[in-house]
A and B are shown apart, each in its own frame.
Chain A
Amino acid sequence: MLIRIFPWTLLLVLALFPLVAPLFDFTYYVGFVRHLLIVMIAATSLNFILGYGGMAALGHAGFIGVGAYTVVALVDAGFTSAWGAWATALIVSAAFAAAIGAVSLRTQGVYFLMLTLAFSQMLYYLAVSLRTYGGDDGYGLHTPLTLGLGLGDAQGRILYWLVLAIAALLFAFLNRVAVSRFGYALRGVRENETRMAALGYPVYWIKFTAFTVAGAVAGLAGALLACHNRFVSPSLMHWTESATLLVIVVIGGLGRRWGAPLGAAVWLTLAEVLKLYTDYWRWPLGLLLILIVFFAPKGMAALLDNRGKSP
């Protein structure tokens, strides 16, 4: 029962938060939660390929960057519709993911990791070299994108609610996929690729499909992040960003429904709190990672999940 109503309660609380926050002088945290939700979207997409598909990709931030720079390119060209920009970001990053996946997925394990890393670093240096979009200095989006439909601009609380809606829908969608025929096949590939091929599964195409979907979703997260920050720079896709996403998914719980949201929430909240007290906020986070790896190797979601098994 509790499990049933928990997601809806959480959604309600998150939806009401921007209305309640000003009463307690928490307005700053509306932006924080908005950012958190965007990171959750990216982490959920990584969990889809890493947790469910067993693909150890270390270049996921590259797709976030592709999404963000798609928005930059459109804005620079005078385009102002938020919906159009987000949809384009989704499509462009799907195309990048398909191209990168087509090559990387021919390898496995550490080679796959190195290839995805190499591609995302190429994207990083490509962004650095794009002088028209500010190169290293990044690109400021001075006017917010417009939503139309009487919703005004993609900023503030409206943007918060849209991000929340998108995060909730994507979360529901990817969890739905996990129990579909495709989801079972994807987990089968994670468990035993050779046997899956011998059973008659097109292993490569299963991985390719999952990788492309995950890249597209990460790209959408990047587009939302561009609107959230109103600023885009190559540092978005630095490899340490990919590593952070990986850590978030691992501490949250690989291949678990609540793994990515939980990991993102804990990681970002701790970082935020620790930054208040010390400049050396990274090492307690490192300590947390070590503790989790040793004492809860299946992630925090596994500790909450009394069934003790992924779906």
Chain B
Amino acid sequence: MSLFIAEGLFKHFGGLIAVDRVSLTVEPGEIHALIGPNGAGKTTLVNVISGLLPLDAGRIILDGVDLTALPPHQRVRHGLSRSFQITRVFNNDSVLDNLLLAVQAQTGSSFRIFGRRADKSGLRERAIELAQQVGLGEALDRIARALPHGAQRQLDVALALAAQPKLLLLDEPLAGMGPEDVAEMVALIQRLCAETAILLIEHDMDAVFQLADRISVLDYGRVLTSGDVAYIRDHPEVQAVYLGTEAAR
């Protein structure tokens, strides 16, 4: 059985159908890329899978567990974690404090009101490990909002990694990055797939062709087609819908 199964996901905003009966799977160790033009419903799909937006219909199963009815924080506990297209980090805190907060969520109750948050609990080691993993090992004391864009994107991904997910949803991790940062992030994603399966949303076609094991194309909320890199690259409809718009920009 697949690691992750989404079945008939449906989401509308008033009259606008943003996600239209989307079904897809992710296999263990796989990078499944999801591409599609602006407004295709990719972020909405990530939002309903992670539970930040309620689903109108459909089912979500991860590692045999039905997550459909669970609130977002419990989905994380079951191994589903996500990053954000528009960077969402704790802007006023240092990189280390950002990561400490992310790690804290995974280690014991956050309803303990007595006693200082102890450093001896291993939070710090784990936080530093995460920083090093994404290439922020030298930036621990930097305030997040003062980081360059590329580093902020790395921090965003590191926060998602703290949960040690079985499935990681990356929503355009390369958004707005320069070529150097892109190369670094692509290398990071390549390393990550040893630890977790990835559903990768991305506009950068070179990166997608380089990283993906499988690609699905989303348009007007629907999965248009799905296949390996070679199949998608040469698919006429895909070229019209997606690569066409890409070329036109």
Question: Could you list which residues of chain A lie within 8 angstroms of chain B, going by C-beta atoms?
Answer: 176-177, 179-185, 188, 191-192, 194-195, 197-206, 209
Task: Give the contact stretch, choosing among B3-11, B77-85, B195-203, B208-216.
Answer: B77-85
Once the chains bind, are A198 and B160 in contact (CB under 8 Å)?
Answer: yes
- Complex interface: chain A residues within 8 A of B117 (CB): 179-181, 183-184
| With A192-B90, A198-B160, A199-B102 already in contact, 9 other A-B pairs whose C-beta atoms are closer than 8 Å | A176-B114, A180-B112, A180-B114, A181-B108, A181-B112, A194-B52, A198-B50, A198-B52, A198-B84
Shortest CB–CB separation between residue B163 and chain A, in angstroms? 6
- Complex interface: chain B residues within 8 A of A179 (CB): 116-117
Once the chains bind, are A182 and B88 in contact (CB under 8 Å)?
Answer: no
**Chain A to chain B contacts (Cβ below 8 Å), 23 pairs:** A177-B113, A179-B116, A179-B117, A180-B117, A181-B109, A181-B111, A181-B112, A181-B113, A181-B117, A182-B113, A185-B101, A188-B101, A191-B91, A191-B92, A192-B91, A198-B50, A198-B76, A198-B82, A198-B160, A199-B76, A199-B162, A201-B73, A202-B71
- Complex interface: chain A residues within 8 A of B101 (CB): 184-185, 188, 199
Once the chains bind, are A191 and B76 in contact (CB under 8 Å)?
Answer: no
A interface, over-half SS: helix
Shortest CB–CB separation between residue B152 and chain A, in angstroms? 13
Question: Could you list which residues of chain B lie within 8 angstroms of chain A, going by C-beta atoms?
Answer: 50-52, 71-73, 76-77, 81-82, 84, 88-93, 100-102, 104-106, 108-117, 159-160, 162-163
Q: Which residue of A lies closest to B101 (CB)?
A: A188
| CA–CA, A203 and B73, complex, Å | 8
Once the chains bind, are A201 and B89 in contact (CB under 8 Å)?
Answer: no
With contact pairs A181-B108, A191-B92, A195-B89 given, residues A200 and B113 touching in the complex (Cβ less than 8 Å): no
- Complex interface: chain B residues within 8 A of A182 (CB): 110-113
Q: Which residue of A lies closest to B81 (CB)?
A: A198
The 9 tightest CB contacts between A and B, nearest first, are: A200-B76, A185-B110, A200-B105, A195-B88, A197-B72, A182-B113, A199-B105, A177-B113, A181-B112
